[in-house]
Amino acid sequence: MKRLPVLVFFLGPLAWQVLTSFWPEPELTRALPHALTVANYAGLGTTFARAVLNSLLVAAGTTALCLAVGASAAFAVAKLEFRGRSLLFGGALAISMFPPIATVSPLYLVLRAAGLRDTLAGLILPYATFALPLTLWLLTSFFRDLPDELYRAARVDGCTPWQAFVHVFLPLSWPALATSAILVFIFSWNELLYALSFISTPSKRTIPVAIALFAGEHVEPWGQIAAASVVATVPLAFLTLFFQRRIVAGLTAGAVKE
């Protein structure tokens, strides 16, 4: 019973948003709708479909990049000796605490000079500022928990460090890779400041930008905004329902030291 007020507080606003999305626009002035409609969804049109596609592309690209470079680096930090090891790990932690506004002005100028401003590809690298430290943190703590003997045995059997990584450690690490991928995907899917700063063409907007700048001709189209919000939320609702254990484990990784 104690759970009920908590559920109402956290799910109530979402439920109201879902109801609003099916609420006929002319009836929004009433206390409750007479009938429900899908007109708000139908009215979203291709611009918003583009935004969904753009968000998918940027989030998937960021996830792929961060896992590709993050996995080997995390393995090196966890199991190997090299110069700059603690610098990389400590630096990544510090970078994850940077306020993103601190890098907007130089990144804007660099992306513009490289012809990558106002492109989706140009968002992926800035997104690595928050996504790569997260990947490194999660994967390093995973590799650290695997026994050192595994690495030594692979070396005795004649593996180079690279081969030990590819043939021994990588196949074991898919649960951690999945956790990192889910979290990086969610964070990239939700990012607003960089996308707002670097993208100016409406057809290249990601979902958060499209929703932030959603505007009607005369009045705010609250029904359509609600419909767009529901579309943006559904994939995340599925992710949290199916992978909540992974997400929780990833978010609290390292929160408690044994």
Residues 210-249 contacting other proteins, CB under 8 A? 211-212, 214, 222, 225-226, 229, 232-233, 236-237, 239-241, 244-245, 247-248
Q: Which stretch in 40-48, 102-110, 142-150, 172-180 sits in contact with other proteins by CB under 8 A?
A: 102-110
Instruction: Measure the CA–CA gap between 28 and 214, rounded to whole angstroms.
Output: 18
Q: Which of 37, 39, 53, 72 binds other proteins (CB under 8 A)?
A: 72
The region of 8-16, 36-44, 115-123, 170-178 touching other proteins under the rule CB under 8 A is: 8-16
**Helix residue ranges per DSSP H, the chain:** 3-21, 39-42, 45-79, 85-96, 101-113, 121-145, 148-156, 161-163, 170-172, 174-190, 193-198, 207-212, 222-251
Q: Give the one residue of 116, 132, 134, 168 binding other proteins; rule: CB under 8 A.
A: 132
Q: How far is the CB of 55 from other proteins (least distance, A)?
A: 9
90 binds other proteins (CB under 8 A): no
- The closest of 107, 68, 70, 102 to 89, measured between CA atoms, is 70
Q: Are 182 and 247 in contact (CB under 8 A)?
A: yes
Single-letter code of the amino acid located at 141? S
Q: Give CA angle at 231 (16, 62), nearest 5°.
A: 130
When asked if residue 197 is in the footprint of other proteins (CB under 8 A), the reply is yes
One-letter amino acid identity for 125?
L
Question: Is residue 122 near other proteins by the rule CB under 8 A?
Answer: no
What is the closest distance, in whole angstroms, from the C-beta atom of residue 240 to other proteins in the complex?
A: 5
Measured from the CB atom, is 39 or 233 closer to other proteins?
A: 233
